[in-house]
A and B are shown apart, each in its own frame.
Chain A
Amino acid sequence: MEATTKQFTQSAAKTLSDARIQDSLRGLYGGFSKARERAAEATPGWEEMRTRAQAVKSHTIANLDYYLEQVEARVTESGGNVFFAQDGEAASRYILDLAERESVKRVIKGKSMLSEEMDLNRLLAGAGVEVTETDLGEYLIQLAGDTPYHIIAPAIHMSKNRAAELLHRGVGAEGREWDTAELTAEARRQLRDKFIEADMGITGANFVVAETGTLVLVTNEGNGRMCTSMPRIHVAVMGMEKVAPTLEDMSMFLRLLTRSATGQRLSAYVTTVDGPRGPGDEDGPEQFHLVVVDNGRSRILADPHMREALNCIRCGACLNACPVYRKVGGHAYGWVYSGPIGAIVTPMLTNLPDSRDLPYASSLCGACREACPVRIDIPRMLLHLRRELAEGRNKNAPVAEAALMKVWRLSVSNSGTLAAANLIGRALRWPLLLLGRLLPPFSRWARYRELPRPVSPFRSRWKDIFRT
């Protein structure tokens, strides 16, 4: 997917002025976020489980080579093929070659954010293969030629009427209200034939269990399961960090994932796949391919300050919890992943200079870390990226900002300079306030609130009133 991270400010402004989207984003707090809190409260030992999950994740990531070899061995034993792809292009190439070799004409897809990184749909279409997304949200996104807005709810920004218009190709969709059940039924009708006709199913991977080689998919619509079982070939693409060492670990992550994502104790469907159809199996694909994708993840792995970002299980809880995401929406983040997790992984997986706005798109309130089921310290990593931008090897801070920082630092460097700054500030109070009202960005600040005014400082009052 083409990164549009440079347009953060413009894209955010567009969302801020869209009242309908603001309404649906506001709903995330009372919806997903509250549901998560209720589910967490109802789960005995929730905090301990988060701590344990964090430890298991960190251990797994630190020993990723070992666990990935285990995955490869187990999947191969059960008759599957494993391909390690350095980047999205290599992963797509593998799938395109396979499609060509097997004369694949039609592909159905389960929800996969990684495939968005790879731009897989566009590449398959370019090779003359018909691709159909089968997750309802992703299907709507595909019909609209749009990109996902949210990690687990890709079409959350779309109104029901817009969905109806897309599903009915604009014919007869106008002039009435649509309900969700009706729209779902229509999508189901359209997708039914696609499932039956498909030669290949492509899915993501929520987890892959190292000790058994089991692929685990978590969905609420059941479409993912059909992608794994109906076509003759099943290809799963997994980010290389999605390993769970044991089945027991996986079940812990599963409990955390569904509760954190939607507040559900369990999603409607949890599908496990152990290789292709074996002798005596009633159904299942003839071939199973697992494509393990790096695509920049080893850069994260190699950076001790950022490594923890690989612990993410993609539940989307940090998006729902984030007051900035709830204002700017998913598209502002400019790439596959949005919200707080997007603000740290996008600069790492694409590049930092182009995504320089993202680490600053946070008040560092920490709501993301509070919500994260594996306690990822996102604010700390945002700070690290800011430091990289301000004074790291890829220094990239605006001159005015660095200069302002110098002036500020000089004024607070000791009590004498602070006293001088205070006197200057008070003497120039009115010109400064006027300047503040006229000069961006302070003028935009002043649009929403009054600028503070320097007064006789506490330290002089201390001398007058309190020192005895």
Chain B
Amino acid sequence: MQASLFVSCIVDQFFPEVGESTVRVLRRLGVDVDFPPGQTCCGQPAFNSGFWNEAKPLARRLLRQLEGKEHVVVPSGSCASMLRVFYAELLRDEPAALHAAKELAPRVYELSEFIVDVLKVTDASEIGGRPRREPEKVTYHEGCHLRRELGAVTQARALIGSAPGAELVEMEQPDVCCGFGGLFSVKYPDISGAMLADKIDDIRRTGAGAVAACDSSCLMQIGGGLRAQGLPIRTVHLAQLLDEAATPG
């Protein structure tokens, strides 16, 4: 199985370890991973802020980079949504680019979708390696775009629940936004901060030692909030969780 990694600019620039884990996990599952080197950003920050003219060249550019790829795997529900769902909206008045976007869309997968839906792996212990991680309660924050644009609700849960050493404990409101929303958190930092505070309360009530998600952007928000409050709860991207559980000790 061949898969091209679109790592997303936030992982590339701020959380490269998530990209590394993604590659290791996919390789252990027998996937031949490549990294199209010209990739930068999908353009979502501009698209979401209304600056579609800034977003369009980035979209056209990424479409060229990913043209003809068998599978595109993205360790982010939000960036995967941009490619799979929002490009058709952004490029609706550009027939050629729109065609390319529609060609690409069905081949774009967020990481948990790819593992569960394409590789048909629902038991994370199949990823290989010996269990290394200490047993730990993990709670799962659902990324908004992953849930509501991609409709992926069960995949990550199945993988976390079956990861060696991880016990999945649900929050009361796992599907409520953490308050990041890109530009939203910059434009309205106080509203975003209040949403974050509720999310952190919900996480704390689970008694979990870790909060997992499929988006580094959510984890940046949540992790930043946890550290600002001095709470000993770690944030972990799904790719890292699967990688940790499987890295031979």
Contact = CB atoms under 8 A, between A and B. Distances in A.
A327 interface: yes
Contacts of B52: 387, 390-391
A64 to B, nearest CB: 25
A450 B16 contact: no
A444 interface: yes
Contacts of A451: 224
B13 A457 contact: yes
Given A324-B191, A390-B51, 20 more contacts: A26-B198, A323-B179, A323-B198, A327-B191, A360-B187, A365-B177, A367-B176, A385-B50, A391-B51, A408-B46, A414-B38, A414-B61, A415-B37, A418-B12, A447-B228, A449-B221, A450-B224, A458-B11, A458-B12, A466-B20
B131 interface: no
25 contacts: A16-B191, A327-B194, A360-B183, A363-B179, A363-B180, A363-B181, A363-B182, A366-B147, A370-B148, A385-B50, A386-B48, A387-B51, A390-B52, A409-B46, A413-B61, A415-B40, A448-B197, A449-B196, A449-B223, A449-B227, A450-B223, A457-B12, A458-B13, A459-B12, A461-B20
Give the 9 A-B residue pairs with the shortest CB-CB distance, closest first.
A363-B181, A449-B224, A390-B50, A386-B50, A448-B193, A366-B148, A365-B177, A458-B16, A458-B19
Report whether over half of chain A's contact residues are helix, strand or loop; otherwise say mixed.
helix
Interface of B: 7, 9, 11-14, 16, 19-20, 23, 33, 35, 37-41, 45-54, 57-58, 61, 89, 144-145, 147-149, 173, 175-177, 179-198, 220-221, 223-225, 227-228
Interface in A393-419: 397, 401-402, 405-406, 408-409, 412-415, 417-418
Contact of A327 (B40, B50, B51, B195): B195
B58 A361 contact: no
A391 B147 CA distance: 30
B19 A445 contact: no
Interface string A404-439: 011011001111011000100100000000000000
A389 interface: yes
A452 interface: yes
Contacts of A414: 38, 40, 61
Contacts of A450: 223-224, 227-228
A459 B37 contact: yes
Nearest to B185: A445
A390 B145 CA distance: 23
B16 A456 contact: yes
Given A16-B194, A363-B195, A465 B20 contact: yes
A369 interface: yes
Nearest to B181: A363
Given A16-B190, A367-B148, A448 B47 contact: no
A388 to B, nearest CB: 7
A448 B228 contact: yes
B47 A366 contact: no
A380 B192 CA distance: 20
Contact of B40 (A29, A363, A412): A412
A453 interface: yes
A117 B35 CA distance: 55
Given A412-B40, A414-B61, A405 B49 contact: yes
A35 interface: no
Contacts of B228: 447-450
A13 B40 contact: no
Nearest to A440: B189
A456 B11 CA distance: 11
Nearest to A328: B191
A361 B195 CA distance: 13
Contact of A360 (B39, B41, B188): B188
Interface residues of A, number: 67
Given A413-B58, A454-B13, A466 B180 contact: no
Of B12, B13, B47, B187, most A-chain CB atoms within 10 Å: B13
Of A362, A364, A383, A422, most B-chain CB atoms within 10 Å: A364
A455 B19 contact: no
B54 to A, nearest CB: 4
Nearest to B54: A409
A447 B197 CA distance: 12
Given A364-B144, A367-B144, A386 B188 contact: no
Contacts of A388: 50
Contacts of B192: 363, 445, 448
B3 to A, nearest CB: 13
A84 B7 CA distance: 56
Nearest to B196: A448
A455 B186 CA distance: 21
A366 B144 contact: yes
B117 to A, nearest CB: 21
A323 B61 CA distance: 34
Given A383-B47, A449-B221, A361 B13 contact: no
A367 B16 contact: no
Nearest to A456: B16
B184 A363 contact: yes
Of A360, A405, A409, A458, most B-chain CB atoms within 10 Å: A458
Nearest to A360: B187
Given A323-B179, A360-B183, A367-B148, A461 B16 contact: yes
Contacts of A454: 13-14
Contacts of B61: 413-414
Contacts of A369: 148
B180 A462 contact: no
